[in-house]
Amino acid sequence: MKDEHIAKNRNIIQPDAKSEEAWTRVDQPGVQVVRELPDGRMQLNLGPSHPATHGILENKIIVNGETIESAEPNIGYVHRTFEKLGEHYGYNQFLVCTDRMNYVSSAMNNIGWVLAVESMLGIEVPSKATVVRMIIAELSRIIDHIVSMGILGVDLGAFASFLFMFHEREEIYQVLEKTTGARLTTTFARVGGLEHDVYPEFVADVKKIVKEMPKILKWNDKLLTKSRIFYERTKNVSKISAKRALEYGFSGPNLRAAGIPHDVRTENPYMFYDQVDFDVPVGENGSVYDRFLVRVEEMRQSLRIIEQLVNHIPEGPHHAELPHIYLPKKENVYKSMEDLIYHFKIIMHGIEVPPGEHYFATEVANGELGYTIISRGKRAPWRVSMRRPSIWYYQAFPELVKGDMIADAIATMSSMNIIAGELDG
């Protein structure tokens, strides 16, 4: 009996050619199975919880020898129905949901959401809030790219670059922690401004990062970009043409690597992106190496943007003077009648947004994140629909890896920067 049980649950299961049904049954989600099919091909489950899938992603791969014949991604393991919650949460409450989408660079999701709501309300925030938002957003972009690139290196067996870059990532995380009070789920932006003012040494700390970071990027160049092994393993792997990438709905670094210089920051500029100088790096053939190079260059451009901004953080308030939208200071709530009333109104009733239908897109680290908000004038939107970049480009995965080796599939998965929390929504 016991032996039978072990035989059933072994990782490698003997071929069972009797019926098609027999092998779909064993194939329960969560059971890692390597299975030989009757014709000698092999079915391999990458994920859902696998060292090569960063996040809970499942991939059923059919291999012939070592060559991938087909792949089938299976998603939904991290689904939390944020769009449904968005219909019940107030506009400021929904911020915490956006944090948990792309949790590698959560500050950017917050900023996209508050920009969308501010655009609906027709309000503007002081320049200080916008400049600080931009600096936080670009720092988040850098840490997102560090994770994506570092993990790509680790998956290909190059740990050193990951180690050096994670040291720098820690420096950035400390700035974020000092600024926002949290490391991962920052919830820093508010409709109408920022949660609170930046701390006094913020400028000095950011300048230190801007100074240190290029050195790490140079090391990274030596360790990965110019490494012969890395180059051979990533060049021309999982290529995609610009036309095909557009048909799939690629955006962000993945689209740019395919050769299309599309960036929401230049196409539909928001915040002050039209007043800072930066270049949009473009790849040639959309391969893993091109995606990697685009990300490296984007980090340099982000540093360039931060450098232009950090010396020009204006004086003044960090939020708009809109008491019916921005929560008053807590100590004033005990002293002033108006502040008490507004505090009560915002906490109990929330912000009321005029009826309308809006779309607002921002360029987050892995693509175009767009919020469609359908408002009917209540404290919660009638419908929130999010354009999550991951779901559009991850569906190209089977096409990208077809004909490649298993190791290439792992490199492809890392280089696409799929964030499970965002993918599943």
Partner 1 sequence: MGSKFSIRKEGRLPTFVSRQMLDTWKNQKKALETDARVASWVTAFEWPDFFSPDFDSPDTGTPREEKRPIERDAKTAFRLDIPTLYVKREHLVDLMKLLKTAPEYNYNFLLHLSAIDFLNSPDANDAVRNNGKRFQMLYMLRALHPDKPAFKGLTIRVLLPVNEDELIPSLTSLWVGANWPEREVFDMFGLKFEGHPDLRRIIMPENYRGFPLRKDFPVGGIGEDYLIEDLLTDRLLND
Phi-psi region of 251 (alpha: psi -120 to 50; beta: other; left: phi over 0): beta
CB within 8 A of 360, min separation 6: which ones? 112, 115, 116, 119, 270, 370, 371, 373
Minimum Å distance from CB 172 to partner 1?
A: 23
Q: Using the minimum distance from each CB to partner 1, give the nearer residue, 297 or 368.
A: 368
Distance between CA atoms of residues 384 and 366, nearest Å:
20
Q: Using the minimum distance from each CB to partner 1, give the nearer residue, 235 or 317.
A: 317
Torsions phi, psi for 6 (to 5 deg): -65, -40
Minimum Å distance from CB 147 to partner 1?
A: 24
Exposed e or buried b for every residue in 34-43, given b needs 16+ CB within 10 A?
ebbeeeebbb
Q: Using the minimum distance from each CB to partner 1, give the nearer residue, 14 or 335.
A: 14
CB within 8 A of 133, min separation 6: which ones? 111, 189, 194, 271
Q: Using the minimum distance from each CB to partner 1, give the nearer residue, 339 or 368.
A: 368
Minimum Å distance from CB 375 to partner 1?
A: 9
Q: Using the minimum distance from each CB to partner 1, give the nearer residue, 235 or 379.
A: 379
Q: Using the minimum distance from each CB to partner 1, give the nearer residue, 143 or 380.
A: 380
Minimum Å distance from CB 213 to partner 1?
A: 23
Residue type, 302: S
Q: Which residues bind partner 1 (CB under 8 A)?
A: 25, 75-76, 79, 81, 83-85, 87-88, 119-124, 127-128, 130-131, 244, 246-250, 260-262, 267-272, 274-275, 312, 314-316, 322, 324, 352, 354-361, 368, 370, 372, 374, 376-378, 382-383, 385, 387, 391-392, 394-396, 424-425
Q: Using the minimum distance from each CB to partner 1, give the nearer residue, 1 or 40.
A: 1
Distance between CA atoms of residues 414 and 51, nearest Å:
11
The residue whose two tokens read 């020009």 is 312
CB within 8 A of 337, min separation 6: which ones? none
Minimum Å distance from CB 22 to partner 1?
A: 10
Distance between CA atoms of residues 176 and 170, nearest Å:
10
Q: Using the minimum distance from each CB to partner 1, give the nearer residue, 194 or 361.
A: 361
Helix (H) or strand (E) holding 384: strand 383-387
Minimum Å distance from CB 89 to partner 1?
A: 10
Minimum Å distance from CB 376 to partner 1?
A: 5
Q: Which of 136, 131, 174, 180 is nearest to 318 (CA)?
A: 131
Minimum Å distance from CB 296 to partner 1?
A: 21
Q: Using the minimum distance from each CB to partner 1, give the nearer residue, 222 or 312.
A: 312
Exposed e or buried b for every residue in 197-233, given b needs 16+ CB within 10 A?
ebeeebeebbeebbeebeebbeebeebbbebeebeeb
Minimum Å distance from CB 414 to partner 1?
A: 20
Q: Give the number of other CB atoms < 10 A from CB of residue 335.
A: 9
Coil, helix or strand for 220? Answer: helix
Handedness of CA 25, 26, 28, 33 (dihedral sign): negative
Q: Using the minimum distance from each CB to partner 1, give the nearer residue, 356 or 407.
A: 356
Instruction: List 194's β-bridge partners, or say none.
Output: 189
Instruction: List 193's β-bridge partners, or say none.
Output: 190, 319
Distances (CA, A) of 281 to 149, 183, 254, 363: 16, 29, 11, 14
Minimum Å distance from CB 200 to partner 1?
A: 19
Task: Dig out the tokens for 114 from the structure.
Answer: 């508050």
Minimum Å distance from CB 355 to partner 1?
A: 5
Q: Using the minimum distance from each CB to partner 1, give the nearer residue, 41 or 398.
A: 398
